[in-house]
A and B are shown apart, each in its own frame.
Chain A
């Protein structure tokens, strides 16, 4: 059981800055994120795209912003739990008992949801029959590539994941790569490599085809693919892999008794607490009259939510408002030596 003052759900810019604000006022926190790294949408959706509206930062990329925020919270030694999704919340007297997808448990005084537009999950095939085989002979990510040795694999998609796995698996498996158009979004070197392997007969490339259906009893035996013009081919397959990027889903947050409005959580604007005491929501996931989905708004919301957490974490103490420029306590927490 991890005991800490506050659990932050989401390691995007808003969650990271809220951790900073908690640290400044002397509260401890830990952060859970479903992705394998901190940064949220900044890292997953636009690491290289410039942002121009962070106060006092004329221009920076999503990645630079994330790195700066991580540097800013370094003094607090905050523990991250990545590749984890918060699944369950239970109120236990005055505290919250939280459980993640991998069974990690937390005992916290308050929870700050900084979950953006939800957790990133793989986008799936639209064909209904695919569900039956998911996790058995149809996958959206690869954990153990050894199961594919000497098998026939049909890979769908045109991005880097699809291309990289097609190239990699073509060494020891028979690979079909199926994509909806002639162009690919993956890097040019991989595209050239795939075309070269196709010409040498090391893999079979099908472009302008999409999944029609999968056939099989307990496991997949073949897959039917449909050309833009309507022609259908059936190709033998032991495994099917789909790489269509990630989509954001609110997930378990929907089950926590919060007031949800159009995929966002309603909060007050005094301290960004939800309708459930001790649960706060900040950043893109929260809504209130006048809400702007800007990173700078998320920073403001995080600062106020952190102070809102104080009364749950230290019910017998009174929070004093202080500036970091003059507060000895804040500077000590930041590890500043004079």
Chain B
């Protein structure tokens, strides 16, 4: 279990306990947090679950797999701290993670 904080673009903050093994994307979808579309359902085949990870978390997250960076090329306003939230699998180590959801996904 990890506490994940989602900052939506209208400055609303949602802090939620997400079960280990789920993804940051699923945590948002299951709790109706707006701004993460996840059109492809977690297949790393779109870029509509794009989030910005708080800087201090960048190095603590598992490295990007092949393909994630390619998909991020397609994301709306990608930055250095961009990740696809479907690729961030929850574990105790992620407790306290904060992500910003972009103003839109496409």
Contacts and interface: CB of A to CB of B under 8 A. Distances in A.
A183 B47 CA distance: 17
Interface of B: 37, 39-41, 43, 45-48, 69-70, 73-74, 76-78, 80, 105-106
Nearest to A122: B106
A244 B76 CA distance: 9
Interface in A28-81: 41, 45-46, 49
Given A244-B74, A293-B41, A181 B69 contact: yes
Give me the 9 closest cross-chain CB pairs, A-B, nearest first.
A185-B70, A247-B106, A245-B74, A45-B45, A117-B39, A126-B77, A158-B73, A244-B74, A248-B39
Interface of A: 41, 45-46, 49, 117, 123-124, 126, 157-159, 179-181, 183, 185, 210, 228, 244-245, 247-249, 263, 293
B78 to A, nearest CB: 6
Contacts of B80: 228
A55 to B, nearest CB: 19
Contact of B43 (A46, A183, A263): A46
A126 B76 contact: yes
* Interface residue SS majority, chain A: loop
A157 B76 contact: no
Nearest to B37: A263
Nearest to A124: B106
Contact of A180 (B41, B46, B78): B78
Nearest to B77: A126
B48 to A, nearest CB: 7
A45 B48 CA distance: 13
Contacts of A124: 106
A123 B105 CA distance: 10
Contacts of B73: 157-159, 179-181, 185, 244-245
Nearest to B38: A117
A41 B105 CA distance: 18
A97 B14 CA distance: 46
